Amino acid sequence: MNTGEFFNYILDCITFLLLTPTNMFISIVILLNWIKDKKLPLVDQLIASISVCNIAEEVMKSIKFLNIIYNSSKIRMIYFALYYMVMSCNAWFSTFLCVYFCLKIVNVKNTLYICLQRNFQKILPWLFVATILGSVLVRVPIILRISEENILTPKLNSTFLHFKRTNVLSFMILSWIAILIFSISALTIVHSLFKHMNQVQENFGGFRSPNMKAHVQALITVMLFLITNITISIVLTINLTSYSDIIYYIIIPLYSTSKLAGCWSLIKGNRNLDETLKNIFRKLHCTKTSNNME
């Protein structure tokens, strides 16, 4: 193990300790609200799906740690296949969330757009199924083709490189289609919010409108979510196509930071999550204050 790989494993441990509790918080809050209200809003379904994918990504790092012990190319192949499957689902779930916000916020006088606005909630379950099945069907046959004969042959390195290139190509095509749809939806939302904010400013003569704060927060959340997901896609593309030390020292830390920013934007963009987090910090502050007084 070289210095770069060791740095990567240390960073994986740190991000696991930060991202896993954060995504567990998101999932648990949504689950408790579901139990309480007996219903799960569409936006909560999408946020929960993204959080579950993030948790799965962190849990799968344990497979990578097994490779330190056993140094098995079979483990590496299985890890790559599962990793790309989860990341593909995550990219599409994020895209569906952004499309949902676009359909909810932006009004366009177009027959197809109006039809999509009315029926998006009905077709979303089918989109979920198609995304998961598509990711599984692309990756599972590759995993099943991994045999002990291939692992034990002298051509192991070429087999693994061909396997990785196949996964990389399919992953990049699917993820960049998703990020293209995501970017168009996000930029449409940003344009609509800017336009509406200018109208509110003209009507009220400033930024003191009660709705202005909500619009500014929505704008910040969408912009952060857009920048985060574009950064993640670029970082993953560089990570999958480059083999220099820059991956370990620049690209992977940037990717981890973007993932944390993405989780923060999900929390700030959802009222229940934001209020729950504020209440937790409020109670912790009160507890600390009372302990200091004693």
pLDDT tens track for 170-183: 667 777 888 888 88
Q: Which of 107, 124, 109 lies closest to 41, judged by CA?
A: 124
d(CA 8, CA 245): 11
Q: Which of 74, 81, 60 lies closest to 137, judged by CA?
A: 81
Amino acid at 81: A
Q: Do the Cβ atoms of 150 and 156 come closer than 8 Å?
A: yes
111: confidence class by pLDDT, cuts 50, 70, 90: confident
In this predicted structure, the answer to whether residue 125 has a pLDDT above a threshold of 60 is: yes
Q: Do the Cβ atoms of 55 and 47 come closer than 8 Å?
A: no
Q: Give the mean model confidence (pLDDT) for residues 156-163.
A: 53
In this predicted structure, the answer to whether residue 151 has a pLDDT above a threshold of 50 is: no
In this predicted structure, the answer to whether residue 95 has a pLDDT above a threshold of 80 is: yes
Residue 220: which residues within 8 A CB-CB, separation 6 or more? 268
Q: Do the Cβ atoms of 247 and 4 come closer than 8 Å?
A: yes
HEC-encoded secondary structure of 221-289: HHHHHHHHHHHHHHHHHHHHHCCCCHHHHHHHHHHHHHHHHHHHHHHHCCHHHHHHHHHHHHHHHHHHH
d(CA 223, CA 285): 30
Q: What is the pLDDT of residues 34-90, one digit of tens each?
A: 998 888 888 899 999 999 999 998 888 777 777 667 766 677 777 777 877 888 888
d(CA 27, CA 24): 5
Q: Give the mean model confidence (pLDDT) for residues 129-134.
A: 84
**Top-confidence residue, 202 or 146:** 202
Q: How many CB atoms lie within 10 A of CB 52?
A: 17
C-alpha pair distances (Å), 3 with each of 178, 206, 245, 275:
34, 55, 9, 42
Q: Do the Cβ atoms of 126 and 72 come closer than 8 Å?
A: no
Q: Give the mean model confidence (pLDDT) for residues 237-254.
A: 66
In this predicted structure, the answer to whether residue 257 has a pLDDT above a threshold of 60 is: yes
147: confidence class by pLDDT, cuts 50, 70, 90: very low
Write out the CATH class of domain 3-280.
mainly alpha
d(CA 226, CA 234): 12
Amino acid at 50: I
Please give the backbone phi and psi of residue 124, each rounded to the nearest 5 degrees, phi first: -60, -45
Dihedral angle sign, alpha carbons of residues 19, 20, 21, 24: positive
Q: Which of 269, 268, 235 lies closest to 252, judged by CA?
A: 235
CA dihedral 170, 174, 180, 185 (to 10 degrees): -170
What is the reported pLDDT for 241? Answer: 65
Average pLDDT, the chain: 76
Q: Give the mean model confidence (pLDDT) for residues 98-102.
A: 87
121: confidence class by pLDDT, cuts 50, 70, 90: confident
The distance of Cα 246 from the centroid of its chain, to the nearest Å, equals: 23
d(CA 12, CA 253): 9
Q: With H, G, I as helix, E, B as strand and everything else as coil, classify residue 145.
A: coil
